[in-house]
Amino acid sequence: MSALQIKAEDLSVVKNNNKTVAFKTLGCRLNQYETDALVTDFSQAGYELVDYNAEPDVVIVNTCTVTNQSDQKSRSVISQTARKAKNAVVVVTGCMANNFKQKLESQENITFVVENNRKSSILTLVDAHFSGEIVHPDQLPQDVFRYQPVRKSLHTRSAVKIQDGCDNYCTFCIIPMVRGRATSRPVAEVLESVRMTVENGFKELVITGVNIGRYEDGTVRFEDLLSMILEVPGDFRVRISSLEPDGFGDEFVKLFAHPKLMPHLHLCLQSGSDKTLLRMRRMYDLTQFRRTIKKFRDVYPEFNFTTDVIVGFPGETDEEFEQTMEAVAEFNFSHVHTFKYSVRKGTRAERLENHVAEKIKVARSLSVRELSVKNQISYFASFIGKTQDVLIEKITNGIANGYGQHYIPIRFKASGAQKNTVHSVKLTEIIGDDEDCYLLGEIIA
Protein backbone atom coordinates (compact mmCIF):
# COMPACT_ATOMS: atom_id res chain seq x y z
CA MET A 1 0.00 0.00 0.00
CA SER A 2 1.24 3.47 -0.84
CA ALA A 3 2.28 5.65 2.08
CA LEU A 4 -0.16 8.33 1.06
CA GLN A 5 -3.27 6.18 0.94
CA ILE A 6 -5.58 6.22 3.94
CA LYS A 7 -5.93 2.74 5.38
CA ALA A 8 -9.29 1.09 6.00
CA GLU A 9 -9.24 1.75 9.73
CA ASP A 10 -8.72 5.44 9.04
CA LEU A 11 -11.76 5.56 6.81
CA SER A 12 -13.98 4.05 9.47
CA VAL A 13 -12.85 6.68 11.93
CA VAL A 14 -13.41 9.49 9.45
CA LYS A 15 -17.09 8.53 9.29
CA ASN A 16 -17.33 8.90 13.06
CA ASN A 17 -15.88 12.37 13.19
CA ASN A 18 -16.81 14.62 10.24
CA LYS A 19 -14.34 17.26 11.27
CA THR A 20 -11.83 18.67 8.83
CA VAL A 21 -8.31 19.86 9.48
CA ALA A 22 -5.80 21.87 7.46
CA PHE A 23 -2.10 22.39 8.03
CA LYS A 24 0.29 25.16 7.07
CA THR A 25 3.98 24.57 7.68
CA LEU A 26 6.86 27.00 7.48
CA GLY A 27 10.58 26.46 7.89
CA CYS A 28 12.80 23.46 8.32
CA ARG A 29 12.53 19.74 7.69
CA LEU A 30 12.02 19.13 11.37
CA ASN A 31 8.88 21.25 11.26
CA GLN A 32 7.78 19.38 8.12
CA TYR A 33 8.26 16.09 9.94
CA GLU A 34 6.34 17.25 13.00
CA THR A 35 3.47 18.38 10.78
CA ASP A 36 3.51 15.02 8.99
CA ALA A 37 3.31 13.27 12.36
CA LEU A 38 0.36 15.48 13.35
CA VAL A 39 -1.33 14.68 10.04
CA THR A 40 -1.04 11.00 10.96
CA ASP A 41 -2.49 11.71 14.44
CA PHE A 42 -5.48 13.65 13.13
CA SER A 43 -6.14 11.27 10.29
CA GLN A 44 -6.17 8.28 12.63
CA ALA A 45 -8.57 10.17 14.89
CA GLY A 46 -10.98 10.60 12.00
CA TYR A 47 -10.30 14.14 10.87
CA GLU A 48 -10.39 14.71 7.15
CA LEU A 49 -7.37 16.50 5.72
CA VAL A 50 -8.41 19.46 3.55
CA ASP A 51 -6.84 22.52 1.96
CA TYR A 52 -6.92 25.51 4.23
CA ASN A 53 -9.02 27.42 1.69
CA ALA A 54 -11.80 24.86 2.16
CA GLU A 55 -13.16 26.29 5.45
CA PRO A 56 -11.70 23.63 7.73
CA ASP A 57 -12.85 23.10 11.32
CA VAL A 58 -9.27 23.19 12.54
CA VAL A 59 -6.21 24.94 11.13
CA ILE A 60 -2.76 24.23 12.49
CA VAL A 61 -0.03 26.69 11.59
CA ASN A 62 3.45 25.34 12.31
CA THR A 63 5.60 28.47 12.33
CA CYS A 64 9.26 29.35 11.96
CA THR A 65 11.27 32.18 13.51
CA VAL A 66 14.79 31.59 12.21
CA THR A 67 14.93 34.95 10.36
CA ASN A 68 12.90 38.17 10.24
CA GLN A 69 11.50 36.95 6.95
CA SER A 70 10.32 33.74 8.62
CA ASP A 71 8.52 35.81 11.26
CA GLN A 72 6.85 37.91 8.58
CA LYS A 73 5.77 34.83 6.62
CA SER A 74 4.46 33.18 9.77
CA ARG A 75 2.48 36.28 10.76
CA SER A 76 1.09 36.59 7.25
CA VAL A 77 -0.02 32.94 7.17
CA ILE A 78 -1.69 33.28 10.58
CA SER A 79 -3.59 36.38 9.43
CA GLN A 80 -4.65 34.78 6.15
CA THR A 81 -5.74 31.65 7.97
CA ALA A 82 -7.81 33.51 10.51
CA ARG A 83 -9.41 35.59 7.76
CA LYS A 84 -10.26 32.64 5.51
CA ALA A 85 -11.31 30.19 8.20
CA LYS A 86 -13.34 32.49 10.43
CA ASN A 87 -15.05 29.73 12.41
CA ALA A 88 -12.07 27.43 12.65
CA VAL A 89 -10.09 26.49 15.71
CA VAL A 90 -6.73 28.11 14.92
CA VAL A 91 -3.72 26.49 16.57
CA VAL A 92 -0.37 28.24 16.25
CA THR A 93 2.70 26.20 17.09
CA GLY A 94 6.38 25.98 16.11
CA CYS A 95 9.34 28.17 16.92
CA MET A 96 7.51 31.48 16.57
CA ALA A 97 5.03 30.27 19.17
CA ASN A 98 7.95 29.94 21.58
CA ASN A 99 9.58 33.20 20.62
CA PHE A 100 6.45 35.38 20.70
CA LYS A 101 4.18 33.35 22.97
CA GLN A 102 2.59 36.16 24.97
CA LYS A 103 2.04 38.35 21.94
CA LEU A 104 0.39 35.53 19.99
CA GLU A 105 -1.75 34.53 22.98
CA SER A 106 -3.17 38.04 23.07
CA GLN A 107 -4.39 37.80 19.45
CA GLU A 108 -8.12 37.12 19.27
CA ASN A 109 -7.87 35.30 15.95
CA ILE A 110 -5.77 32.52 17.52
CA THR A 111 -7.50 29.85 19.62
CA PHE A 112 -4.41 28.12 21.04
CA VAL A 113 -0.68 28.81 21.10
CA VAL A 114 1.27 25.61 21.65
CA GLU A 115 5.01 25.60 22.31
CA ASN A 116 7.34 23.19 20.51
CA ASN A 117 7.77 20.85 23.45
CA ARG A 118 3.99 20.31 23.63
CA LYS A 119 3.35 20.23 19.89
CA SER A 120 3.00 16.45 19.78
CA SER A 121 -0.16 16.67 21.93
CA ILE A 122 -2.13 19.09 19.78
CA LEU A 123 -4.70 16.42 18.90
CA THR A 124 -5.51 16.00 22.60
CA LEU A 125 -6.00 19.75 22.91
CA VAL A 126 -8.27 20.01 19.87
CA ASP A 127 -10.31 16.93 20.83
CA ALA A 128 -10.79 18.37 24.32
CA HIS A 129 -11.95 21.65 22.80
CA PHE A 130 -14.60 19.91 20.71
CA SER A 131 -15.70 17.91 23.73
CA GLY A 132 -16.31 21.11 25.66
CA GLU A 133 -13.43 20.54 28.09
CA ILE A 134 -11.31 23.50 29.09
CA VAL A 135 -7.69 22.55 28.59
CA HIS A 136 -4.89 25.10 28.48
CA PRO A 137 -1.93 24.23 26.21
CA ASP A 138 0.40 24.54 29.21
CA GLN A 139 -1.36 21.51 30.71
CA LEU A 140 -0.28 19.29 27.82
CA PRO A 141 2.61 16.87 28.43
CA GLN A 142 6.07 18.03 27.44
CA ASP A 143 7.76 15.54 25.13
CA VAL A 144 9.64 16.43 21.97
CA PHE A 145 9.78 12.79 20.80
CA ARG A 146 6.19 11.72 21.42
CA TYR A 147 5.39 11.73 17.69
CA GLN A 148 4.27 8.45 16.20
CA PRO A 149 5.82 7.20 12.96
CA VAL A 150 4.40 8.97 9.95
CA ARG A 151 1.73 6.99 8.12
CA LYS A 152 -0.34 9.50 6.22
CA SER A 153 1.85 12.32 5.02
CA LEU A 154 1.94 15.44 2.92
CA HIS A 155 5.15 14.11 1.34
CA THR A 156 6.52 10.98 -0.31
CA ARG A 157 9.57 10.72 1.89
CA SER A 158 9.24 10.63 5.64
CA ALA A 159 11.51 12.14 8.22
CA VAL A 160 12.55 10.29 11.36
CA LYS A 161 13.33 12.56 14.27
CA ILE A 162 16.35 11.50 16.29
CA GLN A 163 17.27 14.66 18.18
CA ASP A 164 16.01 18.09 19.22
CA GLY A 165 17.52 21.31 20.52
CA CYS A 166 21.02 22.72 20.28
CA ASP A 167 23.70 23.80 22.78
CA ASN A 168 26.05 25.43 20.28
CA TYR A 169 24.85 29.00 20.88
CA CYS A 170 26.07 30.36 17.56
CA THR A 171 25.87 34.11 18.02
CA PHE A 172 23.30 34.66 15.23
CA CYS A 173 20.95 31.84 16.13
CA ILE A 174 17.67 31.96 18.04
CA ILE A 175 17.11 28.20 17.84
CA PRO A 176 18.60 27.24 21.25
CA MET A 177 16.13 29.68 22.81
CA VAL A 178 13.09 28.27 21.00
CA ARG A 179 13.98 24.59 20.64
CA GLY A 180 15.76 24.24 23.97
CA ARG A 181 18.77 22.21 24.97
CA ALA A 182 20.15 19.38 22.88
CA THR A 183 18.40 16.11 23.62
CA SER A 184 18.62 12.76 21.87
CA ARG A 185 15.89 10.22 21.28
CA PRO A 186 16.71 6.79 22.73
CA VAL A 187 18.20 4.36 20.19
CA ALA A 188 15.43 1.76 20.60
CA GLU A 189 12.73 4.37 19.88
CA VAL A 190 14.54 5.61 16.79
CA LEU A 191 14.96 2.11 15.39
CA GLU A 192 11.33 1.25 16.10
CA SER A 193 10.26 4.45 14.37
CA VAL A 194 12.40 3.53 11.35
CA ARG A 195 10.91 0.03 11.21
CA MET A 196 7.33 1.32 11.43
CA THR A 197 7.88 4.10 8.91
CA VAL A 198 9.24 1.55 6.44
CA GLU A 199 6.30 -0.75 7.20
CA ASN A 200 3.99 2.20 6.47
CA GLY A 201 5.28 2.16 2.93
CA PHE A 202 7.86 4.94 2.81
CA LYS A 203 10.80 4.24 0.51
CA GLU A 204 12.93 7.13 1.64
CA LEU A 205 13.65 8.33 5.19
CA VAL A 206 15.27 11.59 6.16
CA ILE A 207 17.13 11.52 9.46
CA THR A 208 16.32 14.80 11.11
CA GLY A 209 16.71 16.95 14.20
CA VAL A 210 18.09 20.39 15.09
CA ASN A 211 21.76 19.37 15.45
CA ILE A 212 21.85 15.69 14.58
CA GLY A 213 25.65 15.44 14.50
CA ARG A 214 25.53 15.87 18.28
CA TYR A 215 23.32 12.80 18.75
CA GLU A 216 24.34 10.98 21.91
CA ASP A 217 22.48 8.22 23.72
CA GLY A 218 24.85 6.65 26.24
CA THR A 219 27.85 5.56 24.20
CA VAL A 220 25.95 5.66 20.90
CA ARG A 221 26.94 8.64 18.76
CA PHE A 222 25.44 9.84 15.49
CA GLU A 223 27.46 7.61 13.17
CA ASP A 224 26.76 4.55 15.36
CA LEU A 225 23.04 5.25 15.21
CA LEU A 226 23.15 5.79 11.46
CA SER A 227 24.93 2.46 11.04
CA MET A 228 22.13 0.73 13.01
CA ILE A 229 19.44 2.46 10.94
CA LEU A 230 21.05 1.25 7.72
CA GLU A 231 20.90 -2.33 8.99
CA VAL A 232 17.14 -2.24 9.56
CA PRO A 233 15.69 -4.72 7.05
CA GLY A 234 13.57 -3.37 4.21
CA ASP A 235 13.59 -1.72 0.83
CA PHE A 236 14.30 1.91 1.66
CA ARG A 237 16.96 4.55 1.31
CA VAL A 238 18.21 7.11 3.79
CA ARG A 239 19.03 10.79 3.55
CA ILE A 240 20.44 13.07 6.19
CA SER A 241 18.96 16.50 6.80
CA SER A 242 21.27 19.44 7.42
CA LEU A 243 24.40 18.75 9.41
CA GLU A 244 26.95 20.86 11.25
CA PRO A 245 30.45 20.34 9.82
CA ASP A 246 32.03 19.11 13.04
CA GLY A 247 31.88 16.14 15.33
CA PHE A 248 32.17 13.29 12.86
CA GLY A 249 35.13 11.24 11.72
CA ASP A 250 36.28 8.75 9.10
CA GLU A 251 33.70 6.11 10.08
CA PHE A 252 30.95 8.49 9.04
CA VAL A 253 32.53 8.86 5.59
CA LYS A 254 32.77 5.07 5.23
CA LEU A 255 29.04 4.66 5.94
CA PHE A 256 28.23 6.29 2.60
CA ALA A 257 29.47 3.16 0.86
CA HIS A 258 26.25 1.54 2.11
CA PRO A 259 23.75 1.31 -0.77
CA LYS A 260 20.91 2.62 1.41
CA LEU A 261 22.69 5.88 2.33
CA MET A 262 22.35 8.57 -0.32
CA PRO A 263 25.45 10.57 -1.35
CA HIS A 264 24.28 14.03 -0.40
CA LEU A 265 24.89 16.24 2.62
CA HIS A 266 23.62 19.70 3.44
CA LEU A 267 26.69 20.83 5.34
CA CYS A 268 26.27 24.30 6.84
CA LEU A 269 29.24 26.53 6.00
CA GLN A 270 27.67 29.91 6.94
CA SER A 271 30.82 31.85 5.94
CA GLY A 272 34.10 31.29 4.11
CA SER A 273 35.92 33.74 6.37
CA ASP A 274 37.61 32.42 9.50
CA LYS A 275 37.18 35.80 11.17
CA THR A 276 33.45 35.78 10.52
CA LEU A 277 33.16 32.15 11.62
CA LEU A 278 34.76 33.10 14.94
CA ARG A 279 32.35 36.01 15.42
CA MET A 280 29.54 33.59 14.64
CA ARG A 281 31.04 31.28 17.28
CA ARG A 282 31.07 28.39 14.86
CA MET A 283 32.98 25.27 15.89
CA TYR A 284 35.24 24.93 12.80
CA ASP A 285 37.36 26.96 10.44
CA LEU A 286 37.67 26.88 6.66
CA THR A 287 40.63 24.48 6.75
CA GLN A 288 38.64 21.93 8.74
CA PHE A 289 35.63 22.36 6.46
CA ARG A 290 37.85 21.86 3.39
CA ARG A 291 39.31 18.72 4.97
CA THR A 292 35.83 17.29 5.51
CA ILE A 293 34.77 17.94 1.90
CA LYS A 294 37.99 16.37 0.64
CA LYS A 295 37.51 13.24 2.76
CA PHE A 296 34.20 12.62 1.02
CA ARG A 297 35.18 13.56 -2.52
CA ASP A 298 38.38 11.50 -2.38
CA VAL A 299 36.18 8.44 -1.93
CA TYR A 300 33.00 9.55 -3.71
CA PRO A 301 33.96 12.08 -6.43
CA GLU A 302 30.36 12.88 -7.40
CA PHE A 303 29.20 13.44 -3.80
CA ASN A 304 26.69 16.29 -3.65
CA PHE A 305 27.18 19.05 -1.10
CA THR A 306 24.67 21.82 -0.52
CA THR A 307 25.00 24.45 2.17
CA ASP A 308 23.68 27.47 4.07
CA VAL A 309 25.44 30.83 3.89
CA ILE A 310 24.70 33.97 5.88
CA VAL A 311 25.69 37.21 4.16
CA GLY A 312 26.03 40.57 5.87
CA PHE A 313 26.81 39.20 9.33
CA PRO A 314 27.84 42.08 11.64
CA GLY A 315 31.36 43.20 10.80
CA GLU A 316 31.54 41.25 7.52
CA THR A 317 33.94 43.20 5.30
CA ASP A 318 34.12 43.06 1.50
CA GLU A 319 37.23 40.90 1.86
CA GLU A 320 35.49 38.48 4.22
CA PHE A 321 32.54 38.24 1.86
CA GLU A 322 34.91 37.52 -1.05
CA GLN A 323 36.31 34.63 0.99
CA THR A 324 32.79 33.23 1.17
CA MET A 325 32.42 33.54 -2.60
CA GLU A 326 35.75 31.77 -3.07
CA ALA A 327 34.68 28.97 -0.73
CA VAL A 328 31.35 28.52 -2.55
CA ALA A 329 33.22 28.25 -5.85
CA GLU A 330 35.92 25.94 -4.45
CA PHE A 331 33.54 23.49 -2.78
CA ASN A 332 31.21 23.46 -5.78
CA PHE A 333 28.04 23.38 -3.70
CA SER A 334 25.19 22.46 -6.02
CA HIS A 335 22.90 24.72 -4.03
CA VAL A 336 23.53 27.50 -1.54
CA HIS A 337 20.65 28.48 0.69
CA THR A 338 21.54 32.14 1.14
CA PHE A 339 20.29 34.10 4.12
CA LYS A 340 20.69 37.81 4.55
CA TYR A 341 21.64 38.21 8.21
CA SER A 342 18.73 39.45 10.28
CA VAL A 343 18.83 40.40 13.94
CA ARG A 344 17.27 37.87 16.28
CA LYS A 345 16.39 39.50 19.56
CA GLY A 346 18.24 38.03 22.51
CA THR A 347 21.12 36.59 20.50
CA ARG A 348 24.72 37.71 21.02
CA ALA A 349 25.00 38.98 17.45
CA GLU A 350 22.26 41.50 18.18
CA ARG A 351 24.80 43.31 20.36
CA LEU A 352 27.76 43.03 17.96
CA GLU A 353 29.07 46.19 16.35
CA ASN A 354 29.21 47.17 12.67
CA HIS A 355 25.90 45.85 11.41
CA VAL A 356 25.87 45.75 7.61
CA ALA A 357 23.55 47.94 5.55
CA GLU A 358 20.57 46.20 3.94
CA LYS A 359 21.53 47.16 0.40
CA ILE A 360 24.95 45.55 0.84
CA LYS A 361 23.29 42.40 2.15
CA VAL A 362 20.97 42.35 -0.88
CA ALA A 363 23.89 42.73 -3.29
CA ARG A 364 25.92 40.02 -1.53
CA SER A 365 22.97 37.68 -1.44
CA LEU A 366 22.46 38.14 -5.18
CA SER A 367 26.13 37.42 -5.88
CA VAL A 368 26.01 34.17 -3.90
CA ARG A 369 22.79 33.12 -5.61
CA GLU A 370 24.25 33.74 -9.06
CA LEU A 371 27.31 31.69 -8.22
CA SER A 372 25.12 28.99 -6.73
CA VAL A 373 23.12 28.71 -9.97
CA LYS A 374 26.35 28.47 -11.97
CA ASN A 375 27.58 25.68 -9.68
CA GLN A 376 24.23 23.93 -9.89
CA ILE A 377 24.17 23.88 -13.69
CA SER A 378 27.75 22.64 -13.84
CA TYR A 379 27.07 19.91 -11.24
CA PHE A 380 23.79 18.76 -12.78
CA ALA A 381 25.30 18.77 -16.28
CA SER A 382 28.03 16.40 -15.12
CA PHE A 383 25.32 13.72 -14.76
CA ILE A 384 24.14 13.85 -18.39
CA GLY A 385 24.64 10.44 -19.95
CA LYS A 386 24.69 8.76 -16.53
CA THR A 387 21.98 6.77 -14.76
CA GLN A 388 20.22 7.64 -11.50
CA ASP A 389 17.75 5.66 -9.42
CA VAL A 390 14.77 7.96 -9.06
CA LEU A 391 12.04 7.71 -6.42
CA ILE A 392 8.86 9.02 -8.06
CA GLU A 393 7.24 11.69 -5.89
CA LYS A 394 4.45 12.74 -8.22
CA ILE A 395 3.19 12.17 -11.75
CA THR A 396 1.71 15.13 -13.62
CA ASN A 397 0.35 14.74 -17.16
CA GLY A 398 2.28 11.51 -17.58
CA ILE A 399 5.58 13.05 -16.45
CA ALA A 400 7.18 11.55 -13.35
CA ASN A 401 9.04 13.81 -10.92
CA GLY A 402 11.49 12.67 -8.30
CA TYR A 403 15.01 12.73 -6.99
CA GLY A 404 18.02 10.56 -7.80
CA GLN A 405 20.52 9.33 -5.25
CA HIS A 406 22.47 12.61 -5.36
CA TYR A 407 19.33 14.68 -4.65
CA ILE A 408 19.09 16.01 -8.19
CA PRO A 409 15.51 16.65 -9.34
CA ILE A 410 14.72 14.46 -12.34
CA ARG A 411 11.75 14.19 -14.68
CA PHE A 412 10.87 11.51 -17.21
CA LYS A 413 7.89 9.98 -19.02
CA ALA A 414 6.20 7.77 -16.45
CA SER A 415 5.37 5.05 -19.02
CA GLY A 416 3.13 3.26 -16.53
CA ALA A 417 5.48 3.66 -13.55
CA GLN A 418 3.75 4.41 -10.25
CA LYS A 419 4.29 7.00 -7.57
CA ASN A 420 6.52 5.91 -4.64
CA THR A 421 8.47 3.44 -6.77
CA VAL A 422 12.16 3.62 -7.74
CA HIS A 423 13.29 3.47 -11.39
CA SER A 424 16.60 3.66 -13.21
CA VAL A 425 16.62 6.70 -15.44
CA LYS A 426 19.25 7.65 -18.03
CA LEU A 427 19.79 11.39 -17.93
CA THR A 428 19.75 13.22 -21.24
CA GLU A 429 19.27 16.96 -20.81
CA ILE A 430 19.37 19.84 -18.31
CA ILE A 431 16.35 22.17 -18.20
CA GLY A 432 15.97 25.59 -16.50
CA ASP A 433 17.97 27.03 -13.64
CA ASP A 434 17.86 27.74 -9.90
CA GLU A 435 14.69 26.47 -8.19
CA ASP A 436 13.28 25.24 -11.52
CA CYS A 437 16.39 23.41 -12.68
CA TYR A 438 16.07 19.68 -13.31
CA LEU A 439 17.42 16.89 -15.44
CA LEU A 440 15.32 15.20 -18.07
CA GLY A 441 15.79 11.49 -18.60
CA GLU A 442 14.45 8.25 -20.02
CA ILE A 443 13.32 5.34 -17.93
CA ILE A 444 15.40 2.23 -18.52
CA ALA A 445 14.14 -0.04 -15.72
Partner 1 sequence: MSLLRPDMKMDESFYKVEEIRQLTGNTFSIKLPKARFAFKAGQHISLGIVGGNQSREYSIYSGENDENLEVLVKEVENGYFTPQLRRLKAGRMVEVHGPFGKFGMEPENAKTGKFVFIASGTGIAPFRSIVRTFPDIDYTLIHGVRYSIEAYDSHEYESNRYVVCTSRDNKGTYHGRLTSYLKSCTFAPETQFDLCGNSNMIFEALEILKEKGFDRDQIHCEVYF
- Contacts with partner 1, residue ranges (CB under 8 A): 167, 169, 171, 181, 274-275, 278-279, 281, 283, 285, 287-288, 346, 348, 351-352
- Per-residue burial over 124-133, b if 16 or more Cβ lie within 10 Å, else e, is bbbbbbeeee
CB of 222 to partner 1, least distance (A): 14
HSE-CB at 10 with a 13 A cutoff on CA atoms is 15
Q: Is 39 helix (H, G, I), strand (E, B) or coil?
A: helix
Which residues make beta-bridge pairs with 62?
25, 93
Nearer to partner 1, 167 or 434 (CB): 167
**Minimum CB distance to partner 1, residue 262 (Å):** 28
3-state helix, strand, coil in the chain (%, to 5): 40, 20, 40
Q: What angle do CA 214, 220, 223 make, to 5 degrees?
A: 60
DSSP 8-state secondary structure symbol assigned to residue 356: P
Minimum CB–partner distance for residue 167 and partner 1 (Å): 5
Cβ-proximal residues to 319 (8 Å cutoff; 6+ apart), any chain: 273
What separation in angstroms does the CA of 269 have from each of 263, 272, 350? Answer: 18, 7, 21
Task: Return the number of the residue (55 or 326) whose C-beta is nearest partner 1.
Answer: 326
15, 38, 94, 217, 218 from 41: Cα distances, Å: 16, 5, 17, 27, 30
Q: What is the H or E stretch that residue 422 is in?
A: strand 422-431
CB 25 within 8 A of CB 31: yes
CB of 104 to partner 1, least distance (A): 17
- What's the closest the beta carbon of residue 287 comes to partner 1, in angstroms? 5
Indicate the angle between helix axes 318-331 and 358-381, nearest 10 degrees: 10
Of 285 and 308, which CB lies nearer to partner 1 in the complex structure? 285
Taking the complex as a whole, the smallest distance from the CB of residue 284 to partner 1 amounts, in Å, to 9
Least Cβ distance, residue 214 to partner 1 (angstroms): 9
Rounded CA-CA distance 350/360 in Å is 18
Least distance from C-beta 188 to partner 1, angstroms?
25
Q: Which is nearer to partner 1, 167 or 231 (CB)?
A: 167
Indicate the pairing of strand 264-266 with strand 304-311. parallel
Given the complex with partner 1, which of 249 and 259 has the nearer CB atom?
249
DSSP characters over 145-195: T-PPPP-S-SSSSEEEE-EE------TT--HHHHH-S-EE--HHHHHHHHH
**Closer by beta carbon to partner 1, 167 or else 429:** 167
Q: How far is the CB of 434 from partner 1 (least distance, A)?
A: 34
- The answer to whether 323 and 273 have CB atoms below 8 angstroms apart is yes
- Measured from the CB atom, is 127 or 326 closer to partner 1? 326
- Alpha-carbon distance values, 23 to 40, 109, 411, 421 (Å): 12, 16, 28, 26
Q: Which is nearer to partner 1, 346 or 432 (CB)?
A: 346
Comparison of 171 and 304: residue with beta carbon closer to partner 1: 171
